[in-house]
Structure 1
Amino acid sequence: MADVLILTTGGTIDKLYFDALSTYQIGESVVDRVLKTARVTLPYRVAEVMRKDSLEMTDDDRALIARQVEGAAETRIIITHGTDTMTQTAQALAGITGRTIVLVGALSPARFAESDASFNLGMAIATAQAAPAGVWIVMNGTVFDGLRVRKDRAANAFIPVEP
């Protein structure tokens, strides 16, 4: 069994840019490649759940993610996710106990040279190992309580919410 399960759901982290079309599409996940490039030695397993922009996610999609988390043999789980509705998915996972769940995304695709994706994935790997059970969001050098954070779209950053 792996120490960490990484569930991929899509989002900017896995987007491809098609210049001729001037559009982004979600491609095959780059998570395994990024972690191998970073020489991560912690045993992990990657499983694709879906390839969706988080703005297109439904309550049924969030229920599917929750079922995957609940049914996993691993107790430390990372979920790659689009940033726009990451906090909604965190709320949907709040009732799951006995697991450390870390949601992570990127503000620019991992395939871009100046992406935050690799750093954020590294933070997610560290948080999954060190944080207690609960739901966490890791973005741009900060670990947030997944139930006390929101995305500030104007600042394009996550900020904590006071209880």
Structure 2
Amino acid sequence: MDISSRSPFRIMLLATGGTIEKSYDASAGALTLDVPVIDTLLATLDQPDVQVDVRRVMSIDSLDMGEAERAEVVTAARAALAASDVDAVVITHGTDTLAQTAQALATALDTPRLPIVLTGAMRPYRVADSDAAQNVAQALMAARLLTPGVYAAFHGRVIPAGRIVKDYERLTLIESAT
């Protein structure tokens, strides 16, 4: 049986923090990572025949993602890939270091048996005009359709690991020319 047609299609979502999870703290005048939003965001999406299980790996700004934290993400992805009841993996991640984590996953896992799709947001889920729900919905769909490998799904694009670049001017992820 082709797993892309299995019902429900089972996705393990590994949450790591990033802008997608941030909230504005008026008293501090800053964005903070204090209240997880992924479950709330997922509840707003119409994803028939898709079961998403969430595992919170960490809750950090991706600028704080060092090699030790990246290794935790790789370990969590490896565990999800080993589970017989998982058809794909989606990872929410901050955009500043998403490309490095995607490359670390591609290197450490060599040829994953399932698609691994990273996504995030340029604007937090809880602010007006957020791109969070759009990007998560696209990542969930991409995870269902892609062949095994490591990718980013962002603003209507799917980009393979090793070619992901953050465009700070246009506030998006793009595919590098090389």
Question: What range describes the TM-score normalised by the shorter chain of this pair?
Answer: over 0.9
CA gap 1:5/1:158 in 2 versus in 1, 3 angstroms: same
SS in 2 for 1:94: helix
Say if 2:111 is the partner of 1:91. Answer: no
Partner residue in 1 for 2:174: 159
Say if 2:26 is the partner of 1:19. Answer: yes
Contact 1:54 1:84 in 2 (8 A): yes
Partner residue in 1 for 2:4: none
Which residue identity does 1:101 align to in structure 2? I
Partner residue in 2 for 1:145: 160
For structure 1, list consecutive stretches of 5 or more residues without a partner in the other structure.
none
CA-CA distance at 1:75 after TM superposition: 4.2
SS in 2 for 1:43: strand
SS in 2 for 1:27: coil
Contact 2:119 2:153 in 1 (8 A): yes
> In the TM superposition, what are the counterparts of 1:1-16 in structure 2 within 5 Å?
3-16=10-23
Which residue identity does 1:86 align to in structure 2? L
Contact 1:90 1:103 in 2 (8 A): yes
User: For 2:78, which of 60, 70, 77 is the aligned residue?
Assistant: 70
Counterpart CA distance in 1 for 2:34 and 2:144 is 28
For structure 2, list consecutive stretches of 5 or more residues without a partner in the other structure.
1-7
Runs in 1 of length 4+ with deviation above 4 angstroms?
Answer: none
Contact 2:9 2:87 in 1 (8 A): no
CA-CA distance at 1:2 after TM superposition: 6.8
User: For 1:37, which of 39, 44, 48 is the aligned residue?
Assistant: 44
Which residue identity does 1:36 align to in structure 2? A
CA-CA distance at 1:48 after TM superposition: 0.1
Counterpart CA distance in 2 for 1:139 and 1:2 is 21
Partner residue in 2 for 1:52: 60
TM-score (norm: length of structure 2): 0.86
SS in 2 for 1:91: helix
Counterpart CA distance in 2 for 1:112 and 1:155 is 19
**Could you tell me the percent identity over the aligned residues?**
36
How many corresponding residue pairs? 163
Alignment root-mean-square deviation, CA:
1.5
